[in-house]
Amino acid sequence: MIVGLVANIGIIILNIYVIFKINPSSLNKEKFTKKQIIYYIFFETLAGFWLMTNATTIGNTRFDLRLVLFSLGFKYLGWKVMSPAVLFIAISRFMLDSSIASWINLLLAVILLVTLPILTTYLEKKVSPNKQLYGLVTYNALIMSPFAIYSTGKVWEPEGILFLLLLVSYLIIYFLNHAILELQTIFVGATIDDLTQLHNVRMFREVINKQSGDKNATVVMIDIDHFKYYNDQYGHSVGDQILQEVGFVFHRYSTKNTRIYRIGGDEFAILFFNQSPESIQAFISAVQKAIGKIEVSVGGEILTVQLSIGQAVQQNEESLTQTLQRADNYLYQAKNNGRNQLQSDR
């Protein structure tokens, strides 16, 4: 029993590690890209199948920690990942056997993939994160209970084991949830700019270095006009306020296909992937307009913010590093031509 339980815990910990490797900056399920969602579905399915094959048997009752996997998954990854994963895990059981138990397991999976998104949404509105997970684990155990009774032909043995499993799951959830929150803090500290809460230069360089030349990407480089003057004339606190206001605007307009980074003192970069030139220009125009409305009051004087922008579209067989260099050249053209303008290859 102990060996199987430890193996299950190890599988879930490894799964959490993989999740953070796929998207180290955030577990914001509303902003996952399609590629990330596909990866998550695959690895959650793999983890679920692995948990099944490492299940523990006590008496006539066989159990594993899928209820912990499902609870953490629906909480942090959302239904777009977990509903397909739950279904695929149930289908994968037929690789082990095609008995009536596998069909009942599939039925339970359908019930879970339909009801858990509703329950998760409800709990997120009503209770704290820890209580959300306890509620999800309890619900999973209740759904599994009839299946355990049917598969053993007994009542008290599986119910007693499920109760014990529930207590163990509460304990595991408590520690794993704290570990996830700590990991988020560590990863966010390493990848997010503290002042603007945008992705930092480390993340920017990582994306630039990893990206191949077959992606439809557009690089936009941005400088805040006269920022050094504001910093020197009015102090760093005013400069920080300007940066925070600009960061707030970028956050307001950002999407999952638009990655925005602070890469220097007053320097920002935006990476667009698989977006039309029209949508990119609409985004830039909207951001310019919104930032143009920023007003910072200093001793009765009102400071406004303007941007110089350089834009380059990735060419065939061109690395993103080369596209970045061209965007940077266009940025310097914008600054040398009087600032407060966009220069691009379009």
Q: How confident is the model at residue 49 (pLDDT cuts 50, 70, 90)?
A: very high
Q: How confident is the model at residue 59 (pLDDT cuts 50, 70, 90)?
A: low
Q: How confident is the model at residue 154 (pLDDT cuts 50, 70, 90)?
A: low
Q: For position 121, what pLDDT does the model report?
A: 95
Residue 216 backbone dihedrals phi, psi, to 5 degrees:
-80, 90
Q: What is the pTM of this model?
A: 0.68
Q: How confident is the model at residue 149 (pLDDT cuts 50, 70, 90)?
A: low
Q: Please answer whether residues 340 and 346 qualify as being in contact, where contact means their C-beta atoms are separated by less than 8 angstroms.
A: no
Same fold, 2-191 and 201-344: no
Q: Which CATH architecture has domain 2-191?
A: Orthogonal Bundle (1.10)
Q: For position 58, what pLDDT does the model report?
A: 65
Q: How confident is the model at residue 152 (pLDDT cuts 50, 70, 90)?
A: low
Q: For position 153, what pLDDT does the model report?
A: 54
Q: For position 116, what pLDDT does the model report?
A: 96
Q: DSSP for 57-72?
A: EETTEEE-SHHHHHHH
CATH topology of domain 201-344: Alpha-Beta Plaits (3.30.70)
Compute the mean pLDDT over every residue in the chain, rounded to the nearest whole number: 87
Q: What is the mean pLDDT of residues 323-346?
A: 92
Q: DSSP for 90-141?
A: HHHGGGT--SHHHHHHHHHHHHHHHHHHHHHHHHHHHS-HHHHHHHHHHHHH
Q: How far apart are CA 214 and CA 229, in angstroms?
A: 41
- 96-148 pLDDT, tens digit per residue, is 888 887 898 899 999 999 999 999 999 999 999 889 999 999 998 888 776 66
In sequence order, what E strands does the chain have?
Answer: 56-58, 61-63, 217-224, 258-262, 267-273, 295-298, 301-304, 307-313, 342-344
Residue 307's SS3 state is strand
Q: What is the mean pLDDT of residues 177-196?
A: 84
Q: What is the mean pLDDT of residues 202-230?
A: 85
Q: How far apart are CA 174 and CA 152, in angstroms?
A: 30
Q: How far apart are CA 239 and CA 224, in angstroms?
A: 10
Q: For position 266, what pLDDT does the model report?
A: 93
Q: For position 22, what pLDDT does the model report?
A: 82
Q: What is the mean pLDDT of residues 70-78?
A: 94
- 229-256 pLDDT, tens digit per residue, is 999 999 999 999 999 999 999 988 887 7
Residue ranges of the domains in the chain?
2-191, 201-344
More confident: 3 or 289:
289
Is residue 345 pLDDT above 90, yes or no? no
